Amino acid sequence: MAASGALGTFRLPPLPTIREIIKLFKLQAAKQLSQNFLLDLRLTDKIVRKAGNLTNAYVYEVGPGPGGITRSILNAGVAELLVVEKDSRFLPGLQRLAANTGSKQRSRLSVMAQYLCHVQHVFTIPGRAFVPKPEVEVGVVHFTPLTQPKIEQPFKLVEKVVQHVFQFRRKYCHRGLGMLFPEAQRLERTGRLLQLADVDPTLRPCQLSVSHFRSLCDVYRRMCDEDPHLFAYNFREELKKNKRAGQEREADRESRSL
């Protein structure tokens, strides 16, 4: 995976934490590979500083794992970073970054990477190229940051829309989009969002292109502008509130029956 350093004034938004990445891909350190995950960014920054001034340097990292030290290297202002990982458990993350529309590998990570960068699977290194030979192949992914994001909306808004769509990745896209809205207006507002964005409600999340998400985010932004409380809505909080209310009603009925 290579990242270009020619960013100018363009800055990528905050990445998920290493702990979140480990949780997302259900990773565990493999004892046979002497793996241990270092999660403290302060410590990984300290390690990288010991390598000297890496500004505009070309860096090669072997065995990045979930990317703890990788992130600190990128933060050091390198010109280019190439990482090679032979542990196949970390490859789905790379595959998802470059997954095309319609691919089973396409995920929230694919969309979030591709609306900000041109992401390309460059080549695959066969296991026989390594000593000792691993039982897996290594994928190399190249990122070229775009001077203008494909979705011109705040990162948090894009992240929210994409996250809601992919939380029900096996369902039609209208299922996840509906969770953006309070239950009382969910059906009407979801229909309006899809209609104005010109998106087929029976498409599945992996079938949605970046253009689809751009339309959805643009319309959702307009809806948030119309309703200042909409963006702060969290369907999980509403579920908890409804559950508590139900428990209170049940307790009240039981007390009345005594």
DSSP annotation of 113 reads H
**Containing H/E element for 210?**
helix 210-226
Copy the structure tokens of residue 169. 């990745």
CB proximity list for 31: less than 8 A, separation 6 or greater: none
Q: Are 59 and 4 in contact (CB under 8 A)?
A: no
Integer-rounded Cα Rg, in Å, for the chain is: 22
**HSE toward the beta carbon, residue 2, CA cutoff 13 A:** 17
Q: Are 193 and 220 in contact (CB under 8 A)?
A: yes
**HSE toward the beta carbon, residue 62, CA cutoff 13 A:** 1
Max CA distance (Å), the chain: 76
- Residue 112 assigned as binding residue: no
- Give pairs for 189-193: CB < 8 Å, separation 24+: 189/223, 192/223, 193/219, 193/220, 193/223
Q: Are 92 and 25 in contact (CB under 8 A)?
A: yes
- Residue 1 assigned as binding residue: yes
Annotated binding site for S-adenosyl-L-methionine: 1, 53
Q: List residues forming the annotated binding site.
A: 1, 53
